[in-house]
Amino acid sequence: MTTLALLVVATILVMATTARAEPTEAQIKAAYLYNFAKFVEWPDQPATGRFNICIDGDTEIIDAAAALEDKTVAGLRVSVLRVETAEAVVACRMVLLDQGWGGLLRPSTIGRRDLLTVGPGIEFAEEGGTIGLFYSQRKLRFAINIDALAAAGLRVNSKLLNLAHIVRRQ
């Protein structure tokens, strides 16, 4: 439990633009995305290529996530891509749907394994998303839908599960 917390804090500190600046919400979300990717057990990866973290969201989140470029996940270098069509998600291992299911994708249109979906609110996870980000006591927290995770063929490290609010598909 403390290992993940330390990793999140360390990632946020590295991503902060100055030593004194408070991390922005976008920087915190980007740090969460990276740590989610690190604590998920991914199916076999190709020996070459990139680990694409895709974002359907505002420029601030994309800019903050750019700090993740060239870090590694599952032995692959991270690329951050903006996605604007459902077809573009084919290249993604993880996608942040910052506006939730109302925009680019819906749970019924994903239809593929090995895609980790992250979106706003516990409701996002309850409606079939893998991870929902929400605020509790002025801190960013997350909910994991273990049924959606299993359907995607993904497993999460127990340290991450211990920090999560667990939901099941309704």
Rounded Cα gap, residues 65 and 79, in angstroms: 9
CATH of 2-167, one of 3.30.70, 1.10.3470, 3.40.50, 3.90.660: 3.40.50
What predicted TM-score, i.e. pTM, was given to this entire model?
A: 0.84
pLDDT digits (tens, 9 = 90+) for 114-157: 899 999 999 999 998 999 999 999 999 999 999 999 999 999 99
Hey, where are the domains in the chain?
A: 2-167
pLDDT digits (tens, 9 = 90+) for 43-81: 876 667 899 999 998 889 999 999 999 899 998 999 999
Rounded Cα gap, residues 39 and 60, in angstroms: 24
Burial 36-70 (b: 16+ CB within 10 A, else e): bbbbbebeeeeeeebbbbbbbbeeebbebbebbee
pLDDT digits (tens, 9 = 90+) for 100-115: 887 767 776 666 678 9
